Amino acid sequence: MKQDMIVILDLGSTENTKLARDIREMGVYSEIYPHDITASELKELPNVKGIIINGGPNNVVDGTPIDVRPELYEAGYPVMAAGHGAAACERSIHSWDEADSAQILRSFVFDTCKAQANWNMKNFISDQVELIRQQVGDRKVLLALSGGVDSSVVAALLIKAIGKQLTCVHVNHGLMRKGESESVIDVFKNQMDANLVYVDAVDRFLGKLAGVADPEQKRKIIGAEFIRVFEEEARKLEGIEFLAQGTIYPDILESGPVKAHHNVGGLPEDLQFALVEPVKFLFKDEVRVVGKALGLPDSMVFRQPFPGPGLGVRCLGAITRDRLEAVRESDAILREEFAKHGLEGKVWQYFTVVPDFKSTGVRDNARTFDWPVILRAVNTVDAMTATVEDVPFPLLQEITARITSEVKGVNRVLFDLTPKPSGTIEWE
């Protein structure tokens, strides 16, 4: 990597991602690392210009305050601390809420660390193309292509770096949105001339998920089965040694304490491929900028975010085919109505959820006992926090009328008013 880097050490702050993004917005690259990183591990990182110890309210573990290793102060890098009174460095502030904190940060980054504002998407793309070529050489890569922006940008990067050495595999696991797989085939195979393998694995995945209610277990099953499918497809090809994924930074930062992602912590231990993850340190909005810089169409770059486990995390509890179909059809209605009323592209993410319980209703003068549909519409910059879209009430009424009349097995529609935090964007 050619870009200078400021390292943020997590010492219990809830503002690590904001700080990293503030530094990136200055044109300087930044990454977040655990507080207990060693000096030797730090020196292995490319172009580190300075360290920020970012303290906060979560700096006590098992009753004992945590701290950075003393050796870091002697590692040869400028060090600044925020919210960490025990820091053994001269540059320290009580919190980033101080009136002049922005100027203090800028001065530390540029005046003290002498960092250059060379973080931009042109340099990022150039770096990643070079790194991909170094990693892959003349060997072949298999890409898990969902058709979402993350995997699409990875596909574009790999095509730029290694061309036809890339084979894209789109797996229809039965958890796709209405028309999703058909769209993926059209865009990537017909329009982008990619090497695309389409795999119909609906029965296979739904069979593995039968009776599984725990959301973490569902994610791990889906992730593991994806890998098995790719292994099978790789055996049909020659020379496949790498698996590419659209892992992004929030996936890594949130995995563990919040939830496991299908591609972070959900991969089998006996994975037969080396991983290629060129956007794993980018936030979602940065991934979109890269996509634009690579010339991807807006319809792809600004496509609705869609989780790797698909509708499996929106059909809550144990997945059944009838409830899964209710999620799929209600989601299609929601997307149609948002597009019709000018909200497409203005709301970051919107989708439906069907829980695994029923409620009493009335239809055609008779009692019903059917599922509710939950509507979710949120706005965010980096997917780490999110606010709820103020959807006009008449539109909510129209969507409700369509869903309750057109979707089989549904008699109620609810609107989720919870921001992130305290909720997550997805329900599972």
**Tally of structural domains, the chain:** 3
What is the tens place of the pLDDT at every residue in 98-156?
Answer: 889 999 999 999 999 999 999 999 999 999 999 999 999 999 999 988 888 899 999 99
Do residue 355 and residue 401 come from a single domain?
A: yes
Residue with tokens 């053994």: 88
Do residue 267 and residue 172 come from a single domain?
A: yes
The torsion angle over the Cα atoms of residues 147, 150, 152 and 154, rounded to 10 degrees, is -140
Q: For residue 262, what pLDDT is reported? A: 39
What is the tens place of the pLDDT at every residue in 209-250?
Answer: 999 999 999 999 998 998 888 778 888 888 889 989 899 998
Do residue 404 and residue 335 come from a single domain?
A: yes
Q: For residue 1, what pLDDT is reported? A: 67
Do residue 33 and residue 96 come from a single domain?
A: yes
Q: pLDDT-derived band of residue 271, with 50, 70 and 90 as boundaries?
A: low
Do residue 248 and residue 171 come from a single domain?
A: yes
| Structural domain contains residue 397 | yes
Alpha carbons 339 and 337: distance in angstroms, whole number: 5
Q: What is the CATH number of the domain that holds 32?
A: 3.40.50.880
Alpha carbons 322 and 64: distance in angstroms, whole number: 50
- Closest to 104 in 3D by CA, of 87, 116, 92: 92
- Please return the burial class of 270, using the count of CB atoms within 10 Å of its CB with bins 0-12, 13-18 and 19+: exposed
Do residue 48 and residue 130 come from a single domain?
A: no
Do residue 294 and residue 363 come from a single domain?
A: no
| Structural domain contains residue 308 | no
The domain in which residue 353 lies consists of 320-415
Do residue 244 and residue 385 come from a single domain?
A: no
**What is the percent of the chain where pLDDT is above 70?**
96
Q: For residue 121, what pLDDT is reported? A: 92
Q: Give the domain-ending residue among 244, 270, 301.
A: 301
Does the pTM of the predicted model rise above 0.85? no
Do residue 189 and residue 250 come from a single domain?
A: yes
Q: Give the domain-ending residue among 74, 93, 112.
A: 112
| Structural domain contains residue 427 | no
Do residue 240 and residue 344 come from a single domain?
A: no
Do residue 156 and residue 278 come from a single domain?
A: yes
Q: For residue 373, what pLDDT is reported? A: 98
What is the tens place of the pLDDT at every residue in 154-205?
Answer: 999 999 999 989 999 899 999 999 988 888 888 778 877 889 999 999 999 9
What is the tens place of the pLDDT at every residue in 274-322?
Answer: 899 999 999 988 999 999 999 888 878 888 778 878 999 999 999 999 9
Do residue 125 and residue 262 come from a single domain?
A: yes
Alpha carbons 129 and 163: distance in angstroms, whole number: 11
Q: What is the CATH number of the domain that holds 401?
A: 3.30.300.10
